[in-house]
Each structure stands twice: as C-alpha cells, then as structure tokens.
C-alpha cells in the first residue's frame, strides 16, 4: 500500500471538508436523522397509538419500535454519507477539471478511495454521535448492547458500504450524473433494506433483491448487536455472507472503474 497517496488523499479531503463545508453539511445531516426519528415517533405515538403488528416481534426480536427505527436511521445516515461522498470523488475531480492531472499523477485507486472513505467515516461518526444524543428523548434503549459484536459488525459494515460506493461511483462517472443516480439508489435502499420496517413485509421478489444488497445484512447485524445483544459467534454465518458479497461488489467496482475513467477522459475531448 502506498501510504503517501493515502496520506495525501486524507489531507486534501480533510482540508476541503474543513474549509469549504465547515458546518452546513454537518447541520443538514444531523437534522435528517432528527426528522426521521421525529416522524417515526409521531406515527407510532399519535397515529398508531403504540400498536405494533404481531409479526414485528417475530421478524425483529424486539418490541421497541423507536429503538429499531432510530438505529436504522443512523445506519442509513452512515450509508448515505460514506457511499455518496466516496462514489462522487472522481466525478468531482472531473467537474473541477482535475481528473486528467489526477490520472497523470502517481494515482493509486485503492489508497485514493480508501482515503476518501476514512475521512467520511470520521466526519459521519461525529454526526451520528450528535444525532444519537438528540434521539435519546425518543426512547432509544441500548441496555442489551454487545460492544464487541457491535465493533466487529460495524467494521464489516463499513467494508460493505465501501463496496456499494464503488458500484455507484462507476454509474456516476460513466453517466456523468450524480443527482438522479444517487437519489434513486438511496431512495431504493431506504425502502428495501429494512431501515424503518422489517424487509420481511416486502413482496418476495423485492426481498430477493434486498438480500443481494450488503447494506440489508449490515442493518440487521448492527441491530442484532445493539438491540438484542448478539455477539460475533451468533452471527458468524451472516457476517461471512456479507463479507463475501461486499468483496464481490468491491472487485467488480474496481474492475469497472478503470474503464469508466477511460470513457470519462474520452468525453472530455469530445
């Protein structure tokens, strides 16, 4: 691994984050998590009067709907922030006119994207922590949290998010579009990956699609560790499955990325 490229990418992105987006994105993402929790609380308390479908406990293993939704919304915040910003890195270079110079430099794709991922993980972790503090009055309960299990599945989940970001980055770079592709994907992920309700409620064909998206497993694994106290051994099969699927995403993403870079450079010159 070329640590010079990794350090340079980290420094560049941290300076950009600090100087260009010091507070706006932070506040916006914290509010997104707050509004999701508030909306779920209002529906649960005022619309459904704390009544849950009998199958909810069977599907999730918990009767604490607010904790279920809040954990899901915080994971979704992490998904959006990491996948979006990592996948947009090269198309941002294209729009700023620095893609050609980046390709001519000692450019290492793994270190470059990994540097972007580390920066987004650090900044998003702060946003999630603040959002978590804000969500405490809504009734979140972490009394059964398995810290070791949570740490392990979080690391594997970040690996999964990185894989999804590679595929999304290829789509963005080849189409030279970010708005439609990113919003379509994230809306779909929010709906099928069990963010606010168990994916078992979905039709069978949608559940099949969701099973091939590593984020679905990531949401389930983190919830199991945080809300149900499950450890690594209890979830080892699901962890292995998600790791394998995420590896496929990453390999396919890096293979496609090189071709997408060539197409993007060709389009620059007409």
Domain boundaries, the chain: 3-268
- CA dist 60 and 224 (Å) reads 8
Task: Please give the angle made by the CA atoms of 3, 7 and 85, to the nearest 5 degrees.
Answer: 115
Query: Do residues 107 and 3 lie in contact, with contact meaning Cβ atoms separated by under 8 Å?
Result: no
Confidence of residue 91 (pLDDT cuts 50, 70, 90): confident
**Cβ proximity of 256 and 175 under 8 Å:** no
**Cα-atom radius of gyration of the chain, to the nearest Å?**
19
Q: Are 173 and 254 spatial neighbours (Cβ–Cβ below 8 Å)? A: no
User: In the chain, what percentage of residues exceed pLDDT 70?
Assistant: 94
pLDDT of residue 151: 95
CB atoms within 10 A of CB 236: 11
- The pLDDT-based confidence of 15 (bands split at 50, 70, 90) is confident
- Rounded mean pLDDT, 189-201: 91
Report the sign of the C-alpha dihedral through residues 129, 134, 136, 138, in that order. Answer: negative
User: Of all residues in the chain, what percent are helix, strand and coil, respectively (each to 5)?
Assistant: 80, 0, 20
Q: Is the pLDDT score of 81 beyond 80?
A: yes
143-147, 174-178, 245-249: least confident range: 174-178
Checking if the pLDDT of 175 tops 90, the result is no
Whole-model pTM: value is 0.89
Residue whose pair of structure tokens reads 């990956």 in the numeric block? 193
Cβ distance 187 to 195 under 8 Å? no
Please say if the pLDDT value at position 53 is more than 80: yes
Helices (H), 21-146: 24-42, 54-60, 65-87, 89-96, 99-104, 109-135
Residue 137 binned pLDDT confidence (cut-offs 50, 70, 90): confident
Percent of the chain at pLDDT exceeding 90: 33
Cβ pair 149, 225 in contact under 8 A: yes
């Amino acid at each position: 691994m070329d640590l010079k490229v990794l350090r340079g990418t980290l420094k560049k992105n941290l300076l950009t984050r600090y100087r260009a987006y010091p507070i706006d994105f932070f506040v916006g993402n914290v509010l997104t998590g707050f509004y999701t929790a508030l909306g779920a609380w209002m529906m649960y308390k005022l619309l459904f009067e704390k009544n849950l479908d009998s199958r909810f406990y069977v599907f999730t293993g918990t009767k604490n709907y607010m904790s279920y939704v809040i954990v899901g919304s915080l994971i979704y915040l992490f998904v959006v922030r990491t996948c979006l910003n990592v996948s947009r890195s090269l198309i941002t270079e294209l729009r700023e006119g620095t893609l050609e110079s980046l390709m001519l430099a000692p450019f290492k794709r793994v270190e470059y994207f990994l540097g972007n991922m580390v920066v987004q993980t650090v900044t998003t972790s702060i946003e999630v922590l603040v959002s978590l503090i804000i969500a405490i009055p809504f009734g979140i309960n972490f009394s059964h949290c398995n810290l070791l299990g949570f740490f392990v599945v979080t690391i594997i989940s970040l690996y999964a998010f990185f894989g999804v970001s590679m595929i999304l980055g290829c789509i963005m770079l080849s189409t030279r579009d970010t708005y439609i592709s990113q919003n379509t994907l994230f809306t779909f992920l929010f709906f099928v990956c069990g963010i606010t309700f168990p994916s078992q409620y979905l039709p069978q064909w949608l559940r099949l699609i969701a099973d091939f998206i590593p984020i679905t497993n990531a949401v389930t694994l983190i919830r199991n560790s945080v809300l149900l106290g499950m450890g690594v051994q209890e979830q080892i099969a699901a962890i292995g499955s998600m790791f394998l699927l995420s590896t496929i995403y990453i390999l396919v993403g890096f293979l496609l990325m090189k071709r997408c870079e060539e197409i993007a450079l060709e389009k620059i010159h007409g």
